[in-house]
Amino acid sequence: MTGLGASDGGADGGPARHVSAPHIPVLLNEVLAALELSSGGDFLDGTFGAGGYTRAILNANPTTRVLALDRDPTAIAAGQAVVAAYGGRLTLVETEFSNMEAAAEEAGFAGFDGIVLDIGVSSMQLDQAIRGFSFRNDGPLDMRMAGEGESAADIVNSESEARIADILYHYGEERLSRVIARAIVADRTETPFTTTRQLSEMIGRIIRTKPGDIHPATRSFQALRIAVNDELGELARALHAAERLLKPGGRLAVVSFHSLEDRIVKVFFASRSGRVGGSRYAPMQAHQVATFKVEGKWPQTAGEAELSANPRSRSAKLRAAIRTDAAPQGPDEAVFALAALPAQSYRKPSSGKPSSGKPSSGKGKTGRGRR
């Protein structure tokens, strides 16, 4: 999803037929290797974006078909040129990737030899100020990938201080979540938040940074984007759907960009691969049958050449696994727990004095309730 410019080849491996490719997806070579494309087959790209993974999969074998999904209508509109270039081998559908089963049935796909998911926001979305994803370019405080439903402005202007603090802490891992939430609620009574600059500048006044630190609004913007689009819930549902759709021997490759996403993927693969006690989040039960095999060393990350060409790849991690012939299992509660906010763990200061913003000395390993 996040990548910088070049062009992909055409359907026959030669020059592209008037199909521009402004972005190269991260870890492209590693993803293609993980999917094992030499035998062709049917593949699903759950996060089409600019179509980089899709084109590469189609170019690898002339018999390959791809069902590509994207919840962003602008990506679907731009992708019609890619659909036309591949002569019926590509089906592009506007929907969330958690809805892949219904999309596959409607498109006539009975199962898949490989599925790739590239989680999070795309570079195209970040670069379009009007989408409201980035604090570096002023725009409406939106962040909706599908352009509908609750926006980031809706959350900061209407949610309770407690809920805002939970969102910032658990989805952004922001240690000063309570301080920021309190400031948001105080400021919005006079002037509602409507732009990305308005919110980022307010956070910048609260959080002191040193040269070389990340922008003070980084974690808060990540948290709001995840909440607006239910990104972690989408990921948890998509992993289970992929388990049901993959053929025996089919491969699932997932690229994540921060620890929250990667932890969900890691726990899911540990649980489903039969590694008893392989994760403190999801210890296996003796009666469970492995639905995936995990071979090799994971996660894989970008090499020096890719980091130099595309700095946005620095946080990308790839994990992959191979589907066994075991029947799909039911929902993994540990995976869904990682995707959800805890039940109102927010605690107001007992003295009524302003919080220092420092976490309490709670001893819980997960840090739940500590902001």
Which pLDDT score, from 0 to 100, does residue 55 have? 97
- Asked if residue 24 has pLDDT above 80, the reply is no
CA 24 to chain centroid, in Å, comes to: 17
Which pLDDT score, from 0 to 100, does residue 343 have? 75
Rounded to whole angstroms, the Cα distance separating 62 from 219 reads: 43
**Of the listed ranges 19-28, 132-141, 240-249, 344-353, the one predicted with least confidence:** 344-353
Domain boundaries in the chain? Answer: 28-123+231-336
Top-confidence residue, 267 or 134: 267
Q: Which strands, in side-by-side order, build the sheet including 112-118?
A: 90-94, 65-70, 42-45, 112-118, 246-256, 317-323, 292-293
Reported as a single tens digit per residue, the pLDDT across 34-62 is 999 989 999 999 999 999 999 999 999 99
Rounded to whole angstroms, the Cα distance separating 186 from 45 reads: 43
3-state class of 218 per DSSP? helix
Extract the tokens encoding 345. 């763990």
Rounded to whole angstroms, the Cα distance separating 146 from 116 reads: 20
Reported as a single tens digit per residue, the pLDDT across 298-332 is 999 999 999 999 888 899 999 999 999 999 999 99
Residues 252, 313: contact at Cβ < 8 Å?
Answer: no
**Of the listed ranges 139-148, 217-226, 291-300, the one predicted with least confidence:** 139-148
The sign one gets for the Cα dihedral 116, 121, 125, 131 is positive
Query: Which residues, in sequence order, are bridge partners of residue 115?
Result: 44, 252
Rounded to whole angstroms, the Cα distance separating 26 from 24 reads: 6
Query: Which residues, in sequence order, are bridge partners of residue 255?
Result: 118, 318
- Asked if residue 351 has pLDDT above 50, the reply is no
Top-confidence residue, 66 or 364: 66
Q: What value does the mean pLDDT take over residues 116-128?
A: 64
Which pLDDT score, from 0 to 100, does residue 149 have? 85
Tell which residue, 69, 66, 86, 73, has the closest CA to residue 16.
86
Which CATH architecture group holds 28-123+231-336? 3-Layer(aba) Sandwich (3.40)
Instruction: Quote the mean pLDDT of the chain.
Output: 83
One DSSP character per residue, 191-241 reads S---BHHHHHHHHHHHS---TTSPPTTHHHHHHHHHHHHTHHHHHHHHHHH
